[in-house]
Structure 1
């Protein structure tokens, strides 16, 4: 066996391969966890400089109509909501900007239109992969809307100190 064959075989050993059964058994749903008036929404892995549309359902007692402050959060915006068919919660659509690497937590508060004392704090959790660190498999209900090329950290006009 030649040295080039050995190198090629060694390189192929470092790739990760998953069998179809392993991929299907991976939890691909958005995890929603409740505690008092807080709803933790775990989005999984996302990629930096992307805007995602996230659709998920929560159980709540806020009534049919809800309100929210559109200026509360720069990186997470509630774009659409509708009550569930059973009237026990809401289907929410949020645009989420993965603006930096590592763990991101963004907070949005939704309130009942009928009873201002009723509210839910939505805490969106995501692990954001940096440039060149891979492409994550998105969970069900998450779709990439836009790649933010203007925010590319490798490109700069700054020439440094003279």
Structure 2
């Protein structure tokens, strides 16, 4: 077995490379919008900005405590009146596939809503640095909790 560095590189099939897009992907179903963010890095907070098509009216409401790892921070109606530009905070708090749901509702109280489900593949520590899609910016890096140093003195 050789020790060449190529053994540790990630290789993608040609179809996967063609399918990769630098834009956030939105997929719509009845009352749900799946927002695919691509690869992110663990212990990072991201600001995610995208435009969704909806019929919720000009003003929205949402529960800021609904989800600990994803929340709407800002919204504004699109100029054409066919949706909203949303800004969200997303915390990549664990490795592998993460799905976080946030509901936004029409402020008119007519029961009209959309469930926004953010999907991300989160790379663990030392697994690489992903190229972020357009509309995603790293806003905060959490402290490394894997420190070998501790103040705990143990049991007497």
TM range (shorter): 0.7 to 0.9
Counterpart position of 2:77: 83
Q: Deviations over 1:109-155 (max 9, x none)?
A: 00001243100000000110000000000000000001001xx2422
2:24 equivalent to 1:40? no
Relative distance call for 1:65 and 1:153 in structure 2 (3 A) is: same
Relative distance call for 1:130 and 1:16 in structure 2 (3 A) is: closer
Aligned positions of 1:36-115 closer than 5 A? 36-115=30-109
Q: Deviations over 1:72-91 (max 9, x none)?
A: 01111110000011000000
2:137 equivalent to 1:143? yes
In 2, distance between residues paired with 1:24 and 1:88? Answer: 30
Relative distance call for 1:71 and 1:16 in structure 2 (3 A) is: closer
2:147 equivalent to 1:155? yes
In 1, distance between residues paired with 2:127 and 2:7? Answer: 19
Task: Point out where structure 1 has 5 or more consecutive residues left out of the alignment.
Answer: 1-5
**How far off is 1:33 after superposition?**
0.4
What's the TM-score, normalizing by structure 2? 0.85
Counterpart position of 2:119: 125
Higher helix proportion (structure 1 or 2): 1
2:96 equivalent to 1:116? no
Q: Which has the larger radius of gyration?
A: 1
Task: Give structure 1 regions of 4+ aligned residues with deviation exceeding 4 angstroms.
Answer: 12-18, 158-162
Q: Which moved more, 1:114-123 or 1:38-47?
A: 114-123
SS at match of 2:75: strand
What's the TM-score, normalizing by structure 1? 0.82
Task: Point out where structure 2 has 5 or more consecutive residues left out of the alignment.
Answer: none
In 2, distance between residues paired with 1:160 and 1:47? Answer: 33
